Amino acid sequence: MVLPPDVQRQLRRPATLWRSLEGLHPLRHPDRGLSPALAAGHGRLGSVAHDRAHPPGALEPDRQFHRLRRDRRQPRPAHRRGRGRDRLLRRHPDQQPGHLRAPVADRLADRPPGAARGRAALRRLCCPLDPRRLRAHPPDRPLRHRPGGNGGHRAGRDAAVVTLRPEHARGARRVNGPIVTVCIPVYNGHAFLERCLQAIVKQTYRNLDILVVDNQSTDDSAALLAAWAQRDPRIRIVTNDANIGLVPNRNRCIELARGEWIKFMDVDDVLAPTATERLLEASGGEYRMAICRRLFFYEGVGEAQQALMEREVRRYEVRELLPGRTYITPDEVARLALEYRGRNFVGEPTAVMMHRSVFDEFGAFNEDLVQIPDLEYWLRVGLHTGIAYVDEPLSCFSIHNGAASAANLALRNFRADRVDQLILLHEYLYNPYFEPVRKLAEAEGLLGEMRGDFRRRAVRIALRAALDGRSQNPAVRAHWSQWRIVGHSRPHMRPPGDALLPLAAFVLHAVRVRR
């Protein structure tokens, strides 16, 4: 008998026929008299329809492999509870402790998304993992398994009940990430140490190496640091043999750091609890320098001075110069460095975190600078790596009136306004790392102007230092000695007419004495 053409077309489409049969004889209602043979044929037809609707070529290779493996798998008896976890954590004698066996790791890595979320979650917790952190068999919470479709047991979303120790609870989930060394150079910081260390130990990111380098403090900082080292084993205390200064002490912190990342922290500043974690997330494994927005905390500073500082600092913040940005490209760093020369648009050390490889490639902080060594280094690095930016106030910079005495303040103002700015301009013009700034300045016709400005500044500072060299004021003599040291270490800072400076200084000094 020849079937009608429409019936033949329907038979060539098993999926259509299967849907029609399902509508006539749904398997979910066995009381309608569906025979076992018809039920078996119905199931077989549905399998064929599914295979034709989803040919192997339409699936990803991983899904093809796991589907074939699923179809060929034979039913097996249920295994004893807990054996799957034991096999997962069992390791070869020559492998590192806590690592999964290679075949198991490969099998878990190749499984398609969603195939075993519970197992993947357990793997994230366990590998690599100190076995003491995992309690996979709490006394009152046995393992739970969800039956699989093949007669065995497949781990589901709630495959294992894992109890974490308090220090690894939610909010400290990045405990197994890279080590971050928090560098704290200290000199007579007893009044701020308690607040500073409290902010660090409360970080949600737990894998920290807290390094405190005491620069021969004369107050009770050493006793307080020793007490903190007893309370938290992550704290390391190193005491210098002599007072080497702030910038050399910061470089010593870098030398002693053990972490893959280095987070700076001044003793009188404060960090938000999520600062380290957010900066590490902002780096994304791609950027080597990350910064955040900072707040200012004033102690003993007048309202007028506070308003002035807030207005000046906020003008040069990244969120004002480049609104809505999460990454500053090297070209943008060069343009900001040229347009806002001497302005710290990056921030203080507390707002910055850098990868260890940066110091291997670009060196340490410039010890000839006193007031702006951080700005020079941020530019030196950012001109080549770019800067990841977190627009959240994660650091707080402290400004207080006890930061310096009157004599030191006069010396610092001279260094910040005169000598440090001249050294920074010298780096712009002659340091190989600042080549992007020079190229941009040459393209915009500003390179000649910068060189002329450098010569004028150098002559003025040299004359002032020469005139004040015989003064009885210790701060003035310090100006003179600093200029001499800087001039000898950087030949370019000696202007072309430096041979006439002694004569000019003698003449001006004689005129001043006669008056």
| Residue whose tokens read 């190193």 | 238
Q: Which range, of 287-291, 367-371, 449-453, 461-465, averages the lowest pLDDT? A: 461-465
pLDDT value, residue 41? 58
CB-count exposure of residue 338 (10 Å: 0-12, 13-18, 19+): middle
Looking at the fold, whether 197 and 330 belong to one and the same domain comes out as yes
For 203, 278, 286, 395, the CA distances from 391, given in Å and listed in that order, are 18, 10, 18, 11
45, part of any domain: no
CATH number, domain of 249, equals 3.90.550.10
pLDDT value, residue 303? 80
pLDDT value, residue 288? 97
pLDDT bracket for residue 152 (50, 70, 90): very low
Looking at the fold, whether 341 and 431 belong to one and the same domain comes out as no
Q: Note the pLDDT tens digit of each residue in 7-46.
A: 556 555 544 444 444 444 444 444 445 556 556 555 655 5
- Report the pLDDT averaged over residues 139-155: 37
3-state secondary structure string across 3-36 = CCHHHHHHHCCHHHHHHHHHHHCCCCCHHHCCCH
Looking at the fold, whether 190 and 310 belong to one and the same domain comes out as yes
Looking at the fold, whether 417 and 287 belong to one and the same domain comes out as no
pLDDT bracket for residue 513 (50, 70, 90): very low
Full domain range(s) for residue 140: 104-146+153-163
Looking at the fold, whether 193 and 277 belong to one and the same domain comes out as yes
pLDDT value, residue 475? 53
pLDDT value, residue 333? 97
Looking at the fold, whether 506 and 463 belong to one and the same domain comes out as yes
- Report the pLDDT averaged over residues 192-214: 96
- Report the pLDDT averaged over residues 300-312: 78
Question: Are the CB atoms for 118 and 159 separated by under 8 Å?
Answer: yes
Looking at the fold, whether 443 and 358 belong to one and the same domain comes out as no
Q: Which range, of 7-21, 33-47, 135-149, 361-375, averages the lowest pLDDT? A: 135-149
pLDDT bracket for residue 69 (50, 70, 90): low
Cis-peptide, bond into residue 128, ω within 30° of zero: yes
Looking at the fold, whether 218 and 345 belong to one and the same domain comes out as yes
81, part of any domain: no
pLDDT value, residue 116? 44
